[in-house]
Amino acid sequence: MTTDEHAISRDLTARVSALLAEHDPTTTGPQEFLGARFDAGLAWVHFPEGHGGLGLSQNYQAQVNTQLVDAAAPEPALRRNGIGLGMAAPTIATYGTEEQKQQFLRPLFTGEHIYCQLFSEPGAGSDLAAVATRAVRDGDSWIINGQKVWTSSAHNAQIAILIARTDPAVSKHAGLTYFLCEMNDPGIDVRPLRQITGEAEFNEVFLTDVRIPDANRLGDEGGGWRVATTTLNNERVAIGSGAPREGGMIGKVAAAWREQPELRTPTMHDELMRLWVDAEVARLTGERLRQQLAAGQPGPEGAGMKLAFARLAQTVSGFDVELQAETGLRYDDWTLRRPDHVDFTGREAGYRYLRAKGNSIEGGTSEILRNVIAERVLSLPPEHRADKNIAWKDLAR
């Protein structure tokens, strides 16, 4: 470390110590503690001062997190509010006005506001730029009408990140605008979508004459695609590169292997070792990617991490079922649940196997991500797109 880095590290240690001294984690409620952490600039140290950060490199966040974990301090609800913390927060920090940052970032970090993502639509699944939900200007507000689908946690959310079409007379990428939508509007109807697991963590959302103030527009009118790309890049990094060593699906399988030696065979041993190495390669690649992105916004490289995560999770969950033999497919609870967070690795092997099937769809389909990697990472010739320069209203649908 350089002299300056040592000085920053010492300053952060002092700030964390002061936070813990003034707000004892054993006696301070989680929401109050997280609010104090935000105010101290220790929520996201790379965010601007006054908005949960100190304007430092993201590399210093690990030091803060370690000190707070060691002190058993309350942590932000990452599992319950992954969309808010992993996707909305960095987008608001990048494109939000000072007023928007003041209004939205603190309650997001403390968990007062749970977020959902109103992006995908029934007629525009993989082609996000083709969304048809319409936003029409009405004075200082926008009137929104349309339908969204595959919306995780919409039944628990207070705020949604929403893209809608504000100008159908231009090309599909150019006519979109990004909004922060309050989910308590009476024109919003959230309906459960029952999944193969029996749960309904996903929803379809109908918007009828929903009114959003222009003050909740994030970025420029017509600039929604650029803002949404920032959100998607953050989403893919968050999904694809967050597991610790032997975390996620491989951790479940490794634990079963150690605890149930009667399940082992030489063939399965070789397969498990191969999968363990693949998981470790993915973990280290994700760590390197996070370090590369510490000084800037995530780029298209995150698509590779998310693609690898989906492939690995599905392969490992299949191995998990095979390892468990006749008990692997047991899955007794088919009641319609409305969970408050997405649990990729929860419950029994049969559940994990079924839930993993969605990994290649959520956060961008594997097919689309391969295109992103080919065109934006490897610089291969792009696919021909006949609709690229045609007004959205003139496209066949």
Which phi and psi (to 5°) does residue 207 adopt? -115, 120
Q: Exposed, middle or buried: residue 222 (CB in 10 Å: 0-12, 13-18, 19+)?
A: middle
Position 273: which residue type?
M
Of 264, 275, 274, whose CA–CA distance to 325 is shortest? 264
Query: At a CB cut-off of 8 Å and minimum separation 6, what does 150 contact?
Result: 120, 193, 202, 204, 361, 362
d(CA 1, CA 248): 32
Q: Would you call 397 helix, strand, or coil by DSSP?
A: coil
**320 and 328 Cβ atoms separated by less than 8 Å:** yes
Q: Which of 121, 201, 204, 235 is catalytic?
A: 235
DSSP conformation class of 53: B
CA 285 to chain centre: 18
Indicate if 221 belongs to the active site.
no
End-to-end CA distance of the chain: 57
Q: Which residue numbers are catalytic? A: 235
